[in-house]
Amino acid sequence: MAISSGISLLFLVFSLGATISTSATVFTVENRCSHTVWPGIVSGNAAPLGDGGFILQPGASVSFPAPPGWSGRFWGRTGCNFDESGTGKCVTGDCGGVLKCAGGGIPPVTLVEFTIASQSTEKDFYDVSLVDGYNVGMAVKAVGGSGDCQFAGCVSDVTGNCPAELRVVDSGTVVACKSACAAFNTAEYCCTGAHATPQTCPPTKYSAMFKNACPTAYSYAYDDATSTCTCSGSDYLITFCPTAS
């Protein structure tokens, strides 16, 4: 009787472990920058992951699970200063002056975007986007999945080649690069109004600059063909200041 109960208990624990591992997608966020990053996370349809934001020292990493069907965005904040209550300000990517973000970061920010499948037979969709500009290098690597599972990222330091009209400068240093939409707010660059279709909103010299620097990242709103990635049953490694694919 005792042996049977033990086997039953072991089977229950194994089954629960298997269920947990297959039902949750694990995100690992790591900081390879030489400076501190304060990740921000917005969940579109669930409780905030990582409380919406936290501090990540150089060389550090943190992991947390996301439920099936989760969608949301990750970005990095730089030059932040928060008090013990979590109130403060960031030079780039600020989300309302709080450590734990309840909304998105103020552009320009590099974004990592995810839509996780609701079922294991479906695909996850993910990308790295410079549509809202650039403030820190980011990359996504699929771990243990099946399918295309492409590397997506922006490895180059875009601030070094950012045109003067797009630069964000703090204390004499270029800390971010605006999108042309944010800088000029015209339909041509924002893909709105008469330019709200792929046919009427082609790449511009500014989006080409972003694309040349980061070929696997979104450079403007209709850059789907080379920038949307898919994978099934994967966990994901999100890296700040990646060095290579």
Average pLDDT, the chain: 89
Residue 109 lies in a domain: yes
DSSP 179-203: -HHHHH--HHHHT-GGG-STTTS--
Give the range among 9-13, 57-61, 94-98, 189-193 with minimum mean pLDDT: 9-13
pTM of the model: 0.88
Q: How many CB atoms lie within 10 A of CB 151?
A: 15
Q: For 144-159, how does the pLDDT look when each residue is reduced to its tens digit (9 = 90+)?
A: 999 999 999 999 999 9
Q: Which of these, 164, 165, 160, lies nearest to 214 by C-alpha position?
A: 160
Domain assignment present for 245? no
In a domain, 7, yes or no: no
User: Does 18 fall in a domain?
Assistant: no
Contacts of 202 (CB under 8 A, 6+ apart): none
Q: What is the pLDDT of residue 226?
A: 78
Angle at the Cα of 15 from the Cα atoms of 10 and 19, rounded to 5 degrees: 150
Tell me, yes or no, whether 15 lies in a domain.
Answer: no
User: In this predicted model, what pLDDT tens digit does every residue of 92-127 receive, in sequence order?
Assistant: 999 999 999 999 999 999 999 999 999 877 999 999
18: CB partners within 8 A, 6+ apart: none
- Over the stretch 20-38, which tens digit does the pLDDT of each residue have? 344 689 999 999 999 999 9
Domain count, the chain: 1
Q: Does a structural domain hold residue 162? A: yes
Cα–chain center distance at 224: 16
Q: Identify whether 43 is part of a domain.
A: yes
- Is 197 domain-assigned? yes
The pLDDT of residue 47: 82
Helix (H, G, I), strand (E, B) or coil at 146: strand
The per-residue pLDDT for range 53-71, each reduced to its tens digit, is 999 999 999 999 999 999 9
**Which segments of 51-187 are extended strands (E)?**
61-66, 71-77, 81-82, 88-89, 111-115, 124-129, 138-143, 152-154, 167-170, 173-177
- Domain housing 229: 24-240
CATH number at residue 38: 2.60.110.10
